[in-house]
Amino acid sequence: MRLLRATVHALQIPFVESFRHSAHARHASDSVVVRVVDEDGVAGFGEGAARPYVTGETPDGMVEHLARDLWPAVVGVELPDPVEDGLGAVDALIPALDLPGVVAPNAARCALELAILDCTLRASGASVAALLPPGRDMIVYSGVVSAGTPSAAATTARQMKLVGLGAIKLKVGTGDDVALVGAVRQAVGPEISLRLDANGAWDLEEATKILAALAPFGIASVEQPLPRAAWRDLAALRAVSPIPLMADESLVTRHDAEVLLAGEAVDLFNLRVSKCGGLHRTAEIARLAADAGVGVQVGSQVGETAILSAAGRHLAAWLPEVAAVEGSFGTLLLTEDVSVASVRFGHGGRAPLLGGPGLGVEVVDERLVRHSRRVVELCGPGLGP
């Protein structure tokens, strides 16, 4: 089978309410969705979420990279059968390029990889689960509390506890973190697992002091306490921290993973499918972590649609062990999702595995169009612009 055309949608789906952390305030989804169509008319969908402070990508930069560099390399090419040839065969089709000012163009790569996988698997009636066999029959998601005042964060966390969530992540690094964490811990009690995410807000001296002060609140882990490039400081912090450390912005590529593991810099990796360049590359990093005895969390991009949420759920189901799973907020955060059926989690954070061909979600084209601020049509040679 061969791909004949593609449509790239730069989305802007409003949020139900704004989401804020130390690096950014977000009011709408800015994902880029790729729709590919093969010679038999089978369509597949993929999604990536640009984060300038993580991979260095912007939504418009993703669109240009997809149109200029990635699509020409896959259009009209005989595609592998992922079930027979594995995830790596699809990944190998997509060029690995360095772009000026970009850490790694992984969100664009992820969007195209997922679209090709979704299309080829749909054509054969197979599921992503055939490539990543699930080791559990249900996924339990964690809540995430946006940065804010102690009282506002405590109210949100209390609501999450009332709907049965047993684990919560709290964004920190924007004010008095001891007061913030203390208010949330008091609101939810000792039985709720509480993680923190600083999004690189502190330096080594600040982090050392703050984590020591937060230790009495029973924190499961702190995500990205230091900026991306400070892996040696991260290792130094880990040596004295009373709280386990997790890498997120510091973990974009396989090389990042190897550096962090060699330096014994963290206790856990936060795996995000878009950030890490797609399912294949994320699974490879997960294998490195497992071999080194480093734990993993399946993270998400704030504002992702059902497409990227589905990919994350397949990954979480496949992993032998996972410290926490984030995402699948769907219309709890988006004013409208792009799929026919919701993939958002239910009471207690519980969500079923996804069946059906491809990623297991049915995308409504009209919703993509309705929420697109930019649409780019791509065709093969001689087939149009």
Secondary structure (3-state) at 374: strand
Residue 345 carries which DSSP code?
A: -
Kindly state whether residue 385 falls inside one of the protein's structural domains: no
Per residue in 136-179, pLDDT tens? 999 999 999 987 899 999 999 999 999 999 999 999 998 899 99
Same domain, 140 and 82: no
Kindly state whether residue 82 falls inside one of the protein's structural domains: yes
Same domain, 37 and 166: no
Count of CA atoms in the C-beta half-sphere (13 A) of 73: 17
Contact (CB, 8 A) for 115 and 44? yes
Residue 19 corresponds to which amino acid?
F
Kindly state whether residue 359 falls inside one of the protein's structural domains: no
Same domain, 296 and 323: yes
Q: Which residues pair with 21 in a beta bridge?
A: 24
pLDDT classification of 17: cutoffs 50, 70, 90: confident
Kindly state whether residue 320 falls inside one of the protein's structural domains: yes
What's the total number of domains in the chain?
2
pLDDT classification of 384: cutoffs 50, 70, 90: very low
Q: What is the mean pLDDT of the chain?
A: 95
Q: Is the pLDDT of residue 232 over 70?
A: yes
Kindly state whether residue 358 falls inside one of the protein's structural domains: no
Host domain of residue 43: 3-126+364-379
Per residue in 301-355, pLDDT tens? 999 999 999 999 999 999 999 999 999 999 999 999 999 999 999 999 999 999 8
Spatial separation of the C-alpha atoms in residues 145 and 172, rounded to whole Å: 9
* CA–centroid distance for 95 within its chain: 21
Same domain, 254 and 344: yes
Same domain, 152 and 97: no
Residues of the chain with pLDDT > 70, as a percent, come to 97
Same domain, 247 and 192: yes
Spatial separation of the C-alpha atoms in residues 235 and 250, rounded to whole Å: 12
Q: What Å distances lie between residue 244 and 21, 98, 272, 273, 329, CA to CA?
A: 20, 33, 19, 22, 26
Per residue in 234-290, pLDDT tens? 999 999 999 999 999 999 999 999 999 999 999 999 999 999 999 999 999 999 999
Contact (CB, 8 A) for 329 and 163? no
pLDDT classification of 385: cutoffs 50, 70, 90: very low
CATH number at residue 10: 3.30.390.10
The two three-digit tokens of residue 65, written as one number: 């990279």
Kindly state whether residue 357 falls inside one of the protein's structural domains: no
- Is this model's pTM higher than 0.85 or not? yes
The two three-digit tokens of residue 85, written as one number: 């040839």
pLDDT at residue 22 in the model: 55
Same domain, 202 and 271: yes
Same domain, 190 and 338: yes
Kindly state whether residue 234 falls inside one of the protein's structural domains: yes
Same domain, 7 and 117: yes
Tell me what the mean pLDDT of segment 113-127 comes to. 98
Same domain, 178 and 114: no
Q: Is the pLDDT of residue 132 over 50?
A: yes
Q: How many residues does the chain have?
A: 385
For residue 36, count other CB atoms closer than 10 A to its CB. 27
The two three-digit tokens of residue 226, written as one number: 């230091």
Same domain, 189 and 302: yes
Spatial separation of the C-alpha atoms in residues 10 and 147, rounded to whole Å: 26
CATH number at residue 255: 3.20.20.120
Kindly state whether residue 384 falls inside one of the protein's structural domains: no
Spatial separation of the C-alpha atoms in residues 365 and 20, rounded to whole Å: 29
Same domain, 143 and 31: no
Per residue in 2-11, pLDDT tens? 999 999 999 9
Spatial separation of the C-alpha atoms in residues 122 and 359, rounded to whole Å: 9
Measured at the CA of 88, the angle between CA 86 and CA 94, to 5 degrees, comes to 130
